[in-house]
Amino acid sequence: MLPALIFRNAFRHKLRSLLTLLGLTVAILAFGLLSTVVEAWYAGAEGASSARLVVRNSISLVFPLPLTYRQKIRQIDGVRAITTANWFGGIYKEPKNFFPQFAVEASTYLDLYPEFVLSEAEHKDFLHDRQGAVIGEKLAATYGIKLGDTMTLKGTIFPGQWAFVVRGIYRGRDAKTDVSQMFFHWDYLNETMKVRAPRRANTVGVYVVEVADPTRVAEISRVIDGEFGNSYAETLTETEKAFQLGFVSMTEAIVVAIRLVSYLVIFIILAVMANTMAMTVRERTAEYATLKALGFGPPFVMLLIYGESLAIAALGGGIGIALTFPVATAFAKAMGTLFPVFVVSAKTVWLQACCALAVGLISALFPARSAARVNIVDGLRSIG
C-alpha cells in the first residue's frame, strides 16, 4: 500500500506534477549537455599519448625550430622515431570552418600516429603526390569531401591560396581519436615558401618524438632541452598530453564558467522542487495529522514525503538522462568539426543521476521534517 500511496500522491495534481517533471527533465538534460561540453573540451588531451613528446620553441609556439635539430634529436638515447609538424592555420571556405591542418614530414608522420588508420593504397597515393593531403573521416563527412577532390585553403600564417588533392581519408583506431584533422606534405609548403618568402623556409613548427620506454619521458625531455639550451632557438619538450592540456588550460576560465553554470541549473530546479514539495505538504497537513492520529509515527509520514519527492526526481531525471543522448548527437552535428569528440560519458550519466537524487532528497528535507513534527490537533484543524 505504501508504494500506492506514494505514487498516487505524486501525481495527484496532474498539472503540477507534469510541470515539475518538465522542469526536472530540462534541468537534468541541460546539466548533461554542459558536462559533455566540458568533457569534449578535454577530449583532445584525454586521447593524447604519454609516450609521444612534443618539442617546441621555448619562447612560444609562434616561433619555429630549425630543420637541423632533427638529426640531433634523433640521435638522443631513448628516441625511437621522430617526425615534424607545422601548424598551418588556413581558412577552408569560411573562417568558421575550423579544423586542424598540419604540414608534416609525410614519410614518417603516420608511423608516429598509429591511431590514424589509413589503407595501404591511400597511404601510397599520398606519399607519391606532393600536393596530396590526408583528411579524417569526420572532416570528409562534414564537408562532403571525397577521395580525389581538391581542397583549397586560404593561408593566414603562410599567405596565399593553397590547393591540395585529397589522397586519403583516415579512420580513428579508438573512440577518442580525433578524425577531423588534415595533413599534407611539409615539402610542398617548404618549396613554395622558398619562392614566396625564403627567410621562412626550412623551419619546423614542432618535432614529435616517440620514445622507446614511456617511463623515461621526463628524463629524455630534459636531455633534449639541454641539447639546445643557450642556442639560437631553445626548446621546451613535454609529453603530448601535457602539451594538449596546456591549450585547454588557456581557456580554462570558460570551462570553469560552464561547469559552474551547469550546477547553477540544478540549483534553480532545486528551488522549484523545494517550493513544490513545501506547498504540497502544507496542503496535506490534515492528512498527515490523520495518519498520526491513527497511530502512524513520524517516520512513516516522512517516508511518504521523501518517497513522493524521490519518485518525481527519479522519473524526471530518468527522462532527462534518456533525452541527453539524442540531443547531444544533434548538438554535435550542429557544431561540425569544432569538437572532435562529443560523446555522453558514463561519468556524466552518473552525475546526472546523483543530481536528480540530491534534488529529490533536499527538496523533501524541510517539508518532511515539519510534517513529521505537526501537532495532531493543529494539523487536523488546518485547511491547508
Partner 1 sequence: MPVPLAYSLRNLWTRKLTTALTAGGMALVVFVFAAVLMLDEGLKKTLVDTGEPDNVVVTRRASGTEVQSGVERAAAAIVESLPQVALGEGGARQVSKELVVLISLNKRESDKPANVIIRGVAPMGLTLRPQVKIVAGRMFRPGSNEIVAGRSIAERFAHTGLGESVRFGGREWVVVGIFDAAKSGFDSEIWGDVDQLMPAFRRPVYSSLIFRLNDVSGFAAVQNSIESDQRLTLEAKRERQFYADQSEALSTFIRILGMSLSVIFSIGAVIGAMITMYAAVANRTGEIGTLRALGFRRASILAAFLLESLFLALLGGLLGLFIASFMQLLTISTMNWQSFAELAFRFTLTAAIVAKSLGFALLMGLVGGFFPALRAARLNIVDALRAV
Partner 2 sequence: MSAPLVSLRDIVKGYRRGQQVVPVLTGISFDIAAGEFLALMGPSGSGKSTLLNLIAGIDRPDTGELIVAGERIGTLQEAELADWRARHVGFIFQFYNLMPVLSALENVELPLLLKDMSHRERRERGELALSMVGLADRMDHAPSELSGGQQQRVAIARALITDPTLIVADEPTGDLDRESASDVLRLMQRLNDEIGKTIIMVTHDSRAAEYAHAIMHLEKGELSGREAVR
Largest CA-CA distance found in the chain, in angstroms, rounded: 96
- Residues 331 to 370 in contact with partner 1, rule: CB under 8 A: none
Least separation in angstroms between residue 248's CB and partner 2 is 52
User: How far is residue 132's CA from residue 130's CA, in Å, rounded to a whole number?
Assistant: 5
Q: Which is nearer to partner 1, 220 or 270 (CB)?
A: 270
Binding mask 214-243 for partner 1 (x = CB under 8 A): ----------------x-x-x-x-------
**Residue 321 C-beta: closest distance to partner 1, Å:** 16
Round to whole Å and give the CA distance between 26 and 324: 10
232 binds, among partner 2, partner 1, none (CB under 5 to 8 A by kind): partner 1
Q: Please tell me the distance from the alpha carbon of residue 318 to that of residue 324, in angstroms, as a whole number.
A: 10
Under 8 Å between Cβ of 87 and 61: yes
Q: Are strands 65-66 and 79-87 parallel, antiparallel or unpaired?
A: unpaired
Please, which residue, 2 or 358, has the CB nearer to partner 2?
2
Residue 163 within binding range of partner 1, rule CB under 8 A = no
3-state helix, strand and coil shares in percent for the chain, rounded to the nearest 5: 60, 15, 25
C-beta closer to partner 1: residue 154 or 176: 154
Contact 170, 135 (CB under 8 A): yes
Q: Does 121 bind partner 1 (CB under 8 A)?
A: no
What is the closest distance, in whole angstroms, from the C-beta atom of residue 250 to partner 2 in the complex? 57
**Stretch of 61-69, 110-118, 175-183, 290-298 contacting partner 1, by CB under 8 A:** 61-69
Q: Which of 2, 157, 212, 322 binds partner 1 (CB under 8 A)?
A: 157
With respect to partner 2, which residue has the nearer C-beta, 80 or 373? Answer: 373
- d(CA 9, CA 32) in angstroms, rounded, equals 29
Closer of 166 and 270 to partner 1 (Cβ): 270
Told to check if 16 binds partner 1 by CB under 8 A, we report: yes
Distance CA 112, CA 277 (A): 59
E strand residue ranges, 22-118: 52-57, 65-66, 79-87, 101-104, 116-117
Binding partner at 152 among partner 2, partner 1, none, C-beta below 5 to 8 Å by kind? none
Nearer to partner 1, 215 or 232 (CB): 232
Tell me how far, at minimum, the Cβ of 323 lies from partner 1, in Å.
13
Q: How far apart are CA 284 and CA 371, in angstroms?
A: 9
Q: Which is nearer to partner 2, 45 or 380 (CB)?
A: 380
DSSP codes joined into one string, 155-182: ETTTTEEEEEEEEEEEEESSTT-----E
Q: Which residues bind partner 2 (CB under 8 A)?
A: 1-2, 4-5, 8-9, 12, 286-287, 290, 292-298, 376-377, 380
